[in-house]
Amino acid sequence: MTFQLLTIPCLSDNYAFLLHSNGKTAVVDAPEASPITNALAEKNWTLNEVWLTHHHHDHTGAVKQLRVETGAIIRGARADLRRLPALDIELNDGETFDFAGSDVHVIDVSGHTVGHIAFYVPDASAVFSADSLMALGCGRLFEGNAEQMWHSLSKLAALPPDTQVCSGHEYTAANAKFALTIEPENSALQQRAEEIAAAREKGRPTVPSLLSLELETNPFLRAGLQSVKDALNMTDESDVAVFAEIRRRKDSF
């Protein structure tokens, strides 16, 4: 199955993603209507579905307009039903649904919010993680706790390394600066930081990123490594405790 994936910049630093295969098109999150509809027109694609990861307005603000203009069906988490726009199809953690002849796996990734979900499409080698796992980062713990987020990130980290991580914001340059305070001697991280700076200077998105690269460089995925624990003087602490400390440091960075 052949998929086309487009990264759509929206608002000041958000991303939506268009996924197209077999004559069908879905958008993951809908921060702003015009960039999405412009991309659809440019490709001559018809929007069939909107997949929502969580309720925050910068991920759902254009849903009503897209529904009116395209008639697309709206999918989102049943666990967050009361805070999402009106859904046509409610989804539960662990469910699989069909899109364009391919399976889409629904994964609960609570932490940033409670009820946040990710969409994993094996045939596209892509996971749409929004504000859970992000490029060189993870979302702030607005509603969940460190244990929840670590569990969520661990599920995503277990996906195939060649999975594209389609996250929701262009925060990567700032995340790189912080990551270097955790692992300043990480050569892969040093190289990635240079590549990010060059990409942003040219106005290019740094999203999506490969999961294999996140595993090498993202401090929030690396909290369980002994080298990271030692660097933080947390040698005997649990993985969750180390993750929580990294998140605390990022919040005040």
Q: Which amino acid is at 195?
A: E
Residue of 58, 93, 105, 123 marked catalytic = 58
Give the DSSP letter string of 13-62: TEEEEEEEETTEEEEE--S-HHHHHHHHHHHT----EEE-----HHHHTT
Active site residue 169: yes
> At 235, is the pLDDT very low, low, confident or very high (cuts 50, 70, 90)?
very high
Residue of 55, 59, 80, 116 marked catalytic = 59
Pair 50, 87: CB distance under 8 Å: no
Active site residue 20: no
Query: What is the enclosing helix (H) or strand (E) of 69?
Result: helix 63-70
> At 15, is the pLDDT very low, low, confident or very high (cuts 50, 70, 90)?
very high
> At 157, is the pLDDT very low, low, confident or very high (cuts 50, 70, 90)?
very high
pTM given for the model: 0.97
pLDDT digits (tens, 9 = 90+) for 167-216: 999 999 999 999 999 999 999 999 999 999 999 999 999 999 999 999 99
Residue of 20, 29, 54, 108 marked catalytic = 54
Pair 132, 116: CB distance under 8 Å: yes
Q: Which amino acid is at 103?
A: D
Q: Is the pLDDT of residue 82 over 90?
A: yes
Residue of 20, 55, 108, 112 marked catalytic = 112
Pair 31, 16: CB distance under 8 Å: yes
User: What's the pLDDT at 109?
Assistant: 98
User: What's the pLDDT at 68?
Assistant: 96
| Residue written as token pair 């369980």 | 224
> At 250, is the pLDDT very low, low, confident or very high (cuts 50, 70, 90)?
very high
Q: Tell me what percent of the residues of the chain surpass a pLDDT of 90.
A: 100
Beta bridge partners of 137: 134
Active site residue 131: yes
What's the CATH number where 16 sits? 3.60.15.10
Average pLDDT, integer, range 222-248: 97
Average pLDDT, integer, range 115-133: 98
Pair 53, 168: CB distance under 8 Å: yes
Quote the domain boundaries for residue 27: 4-251
Q: Is the pLDDT of residue 80 over 90?
A: yes
User: What's the pLDDT at 241?
Assistant: 98
Question: How many domains does the chain contain in total?
Answer: 1
User: What's the pLDDT at 127?
Assistant: 98
Work out the mean pLDDT of the chain and round it to a whole number.
Answer: 97
DSSP tally for the chain: helices H, then strands E? 9, 14
User: What's the pLDDT at 244?
Assistant: 98
Active site residue 103: no
Residue of 29, 80, 108, 131 marked catalytic = 131
Pair 178, 134: CB distance under 8 Å: no
Active site residue 59: yes
Q: Is the pLDDT of residue 1 over 80?
A: no
Backbone angles phi, psi at 153, to 5 degrees: -65, -35
Residue of 56, 80, 108, 239 marked catalytic = 56
